[in-house]
Amino acid sequence: MSIPASTIDLPRPRFRLRPIRVAECSMLLLFTVLTGLPLLFLLTGSFNLAQPGRAAMYGFDNWLRAFSDPTTVSALWMSFLLSVARLVPAIIIGVMFAWLIARTDMPGGNAIEFFCWVAYFIPDFPLTLAWILLLDPNYGFLNSLARHLPFVDGPLFNPYSFWGIVWVHTSAGGIWFKVILLTPVFRRLGAALEEAARVAGASTATMLWRVTIPLLSPMILAVSVLSFIRGLQSFNTELLLGTPAGIYVYSTRIYDYIHREPSSYGEATALGSVFILTLGALLFLYWRFLRGKRQFTVVTGQGYSTLRVKLGKWRWVALAGCLFYIAVMTVLPLIFLIIGSFMRRYGFFNINSPFTLAHWRNLLTDPIFLLSLKNSLVIASITAAGGIVLYSTVAYLLVSRRTVAAPLLEGFCWLPHILPGILLGLGILWLFLATPLRFLFYGTVWGIALALMVSDSPVTTQAFRAGYLQLGPDLEEAARVTGASWWYTYRKILLPLLAPIAGAVGLMNFGGALTSISTPVLLYSHQSRPLAILLLEYSVTGELERGAALGLLITAMICAMMLVGRRLGLQLSGLQ
């Protein structure tokens, strides 16, 4: 019965290097360096009085200096105020759009939903630029028009103000993001639940008030909290519109600290630490809240509703309202961005031959532009490709039962969520300055790509994890049992099956890398300047016409990419 012969040839020695353990350890190491260390530097750097890279001296001076400055506290307060002020109109309009599209017989609902999806990807910086062209007190087109109205003496609108910032945000991606998120939820709300209310004798209004809204309120609240947190991380619009008016939020304040001569890293990190802790606490509460509400979302997940509210003749009014909002908030600024890029001097329609191709010609022949374009494409490609490789591996480790340190790894993946672009940039800048990594990464396209890759980690990892969970372990194990090595299985089975997800997140991250300003703004050098930073420079130095051309170019690149992605059948909207 026994097999003595088998004990002689042992296939392997006692100690075995399990590949999965190696992968796990290297990922943990990588995240420790790329996410853990920057965060640590941010949190401890505020107590370090020396410049990064020098011998450390510890003390509370940075905190004292930062918080004895009244503008620091007011910047934090302003971040909060702005986020709340833009949240309220955005939620109301977002819910209206979603309800009209999903639950009423308003004509053209699908077309409007598609538009929301496109509008979501229009980068916010060119849009801000467009609103400057429209609303600037000196040459803004709408202000010029308004001067012809009776009783108007000075400029009617001023974008460089609190409400100017709120207004521009109301036209940017945030609103469309809410529509994209809420429409499917409205649609999925179990038809039976509403039909039951109808059968029980409820009118449309009663049904909405007593059944629909209470059922959807947890989801609306969740989207609100998420939007609020995202609002706190905003940078571009605040920089462009707030700084000229002396309105600082914490992110532009940090930018300001670093761009001073000499840079005040200590104060910047003190401010950053406060913010990280606040954001961490908020996200924790959000997560707790979502967990508690899970049973609610289950209720809404059954079957599609065919029951639509009949608006009667009001459906045309509703459609007109939606179209008007879209026309004013998106189409109008884009048109003026186009006009602006062709005007000799923006706002001066009365001079001889006001239109010119010079800005486009100058832009496209500018060696700085060409270098920046190359940089941007390199950065975006590295970010997208690196993200796919890195986070598909991490997600694999997270779903595998063999992984020992999955919770730790998952924690690392979520960390960038509490690091807005500007703070991540600051942390990584610190990492480069304080470690030998600077020789490889400081001021290079690789450094910027690395930072962008880190910031992509939560969403990308989640997307891949969802993909793996959907596939299940059987398809992979079946390949292993038939004799395929892990690497062969990965190439022939997992990769082809995950290709749609990889393509979608790749495109998203590519687009994100093209438009991101806050992450690279502290990391670039003249040699590695990307397009978005060039756009920032044009805007700050007042070359609005050339900026408009560049902004359009970036917008066109993003839109083309997203349309190609949709043609390829990638589920882009479902990822966020």
Partner 1 sequence: MAQPVLEFRDVVKRFAAVSAVDGVNFSVQRGEIFTLLGPSGCGKTTTLRLVAGLEEPDGGEIHLDGKIVAAPQRGVFLPPEKRQLGMVFQSYAIWPHLTVFENVAFPLRVRRESADVIRLRVNHALESVGLGGFADRGATQLSGGQQQRVALARALVYEPAVLLLDEPLSNLDAKLREQMRFELRALQRKLMLTILYVTHDQTEAMTLSDRIAVVNRGRFEQVGSPEEVYEKPATPFAGEFLGRTVALDGALRKSGGAPSIELAGGGRIVLGGHLTDSLHDGAAVRLIARPEDIEILPPAELASNQIDATVEQVDYLGDRFEYYVRGAGAVFVLSSPKRDRYPVGAKVRVSFDPNAVTIHPR
Residues at the contact surface with partner 1, assessed by CB under 8 A: 1, 3, 5-7, 9-16, 472, 474-475, 477-486, 488, 492-493, 496-497
Tell me which amino acid residue 125 is: F
Write out the DSSP string of 266-308. Answer: HHHHHHHHHHHHHHHHHHHHHHHHHHHTHHHHHHTTSS-----
Nearer to partner 1, 147 or 492 (CB): 492
Q: How far is the CB of 21 from partner 1 (least distance, A)?
A: 12
Taking the least distance from each CB to partner 1, the nearer of 244 and 472 is 472
Provide the minimum distance between the beta carbon of 486 and partner 1 in the complex, in angstroms, as a whole number. 8
Query: Contact 253/72 with Cβ under 8 angstroms?
Result: yes
Comparison of 32 and 485: residue with beta carbon closer to partner 1: 485
Query: Residue 189 corresponds to which tokens in the numbers above?
Result: 């709300």
Segment 65-73 long-range contacts (CB within 8 Å, at least 24 positions apart): 65/264, 65/266, 65/267, 66/266, 66/267, 66/270, 66/271, 67/270, 69/267, 71/248, 71/253, 72/253, 72/267, 72/271
Compare residues 214 and 407 and give the one whose CB is closer to partner 1. Answer: 407
**Closer by beta carbon to partner 1, 443 or else 500:** 500
Query: Of 13 and 201, which has the nearer Cβ to partner 1?
Result: 13
Give the number of other CB atoms < 10 A from CB of residue 508: 24
Structure tokens that stand for 49 in this block: 């009085």
Q: Which pair of structure tokens corresponds to residue 41?
A: 């530097």
In the complex, the smallest distance separating the C-beta of residue 487 from partner 1, rounded to whole angstroms, is: 10
Cα(2)–Cα(270) distance, integer angstroms:
70
Q: Closest CB to partner 1 among 411 and 472?
A: 472
| Closest approach of partner 1 to the CB of residue 26, in Å | 20
| Nearer CB in complex with partner 1: 324/488 | 488
Give min distance, CB of 492 to partner 1, in A: 7
- Min CB(459)–partner 1 separation in Å: 25
- Residue 5 Cβ, how far from partner 1 at the closest point, in Å? 7
Measured from the CB atom, is 439 or 487 closer to partner 1?
487
Question: Phi, psi (5° rounding) for residue 55?
Answer: -60, 135
Q: Which DSSP string corresponds to 543-574?
A: -HHHHHHHHHHHHHHHHHHHHHHHHTT---GG
Sign of CA dihedral 458, 565, 512, 28: positive
Q: Which residues pair with 48 in a beta bridge?
A: 58
With tokens 């001079």, the residue in question is 351
- Spatial CB neighbours of 15, under 8 Å, sequence gap ≥ 6: none
Mention every residue, 6+ apart, whose C-beta is less than 8 A from residue 410: 398
Tokens 């304080």 found at:
434
Name the minimum Å distance from CB 406 to partner 1: 14
- Nearer to partner 1 by Cβ, of 226 and 471: the residue is 471
| Residue 18: CB minimum distance to partner 1, A | 9
Question: Rounded to an integer, what distance in angstroms lies between the CA atom of residue 310 and that of residue 155?
Answer: 43
DSSP state of 156: S
Q: How far is the CB of 483 from partner 1 (least distance, A)?
A: 5
**How many CB atoms neighbour CB 446 within 10 A?**
16
With respect to partner 1, which residue has the nearer C-beta, 2 or 306? 2
427, 478, 474: which is closest to 450 by C-alpha?
A: 427
Closest approach of partner 1 to the CB of residue 140, in Å: 54
3-state secondary structure at position 28 = helix
Question: Please, what is the minimum distance in Å from the beta carbon of residue 488 to partner 1?
Answer: 6
Q: How far is the CB of 204 from partner 1 (least distance, A)?
A: 42
CA–CA separation, 553 vs 543, rounded Å?
Answer: 15
Question: What is the CB-side half-sphere exposure of residue 376 using CA atoms within 13 A?
Answer: 24
> Whose Cβ is closer to partner 1: residue 105's or residue 477's?
477
Block residue for tokens 């401010």: 271
Nearer CB in complex with partner 1: 138/482: 482
Residue at token pair 């200096």: 65
Burial class, 429, CB count within 10 angstroms (exposed 0-12 / middle 13-18 / buried 19+): buried
Closer to partner 1 by CB, 3 or 199: give it: 3
DSSP code, position 209: I
Q: Count of residues for the chain?
A: 576
CB of 145 to partner 1, least distance (A): 57
Residue 56 is classified by DSSP as P
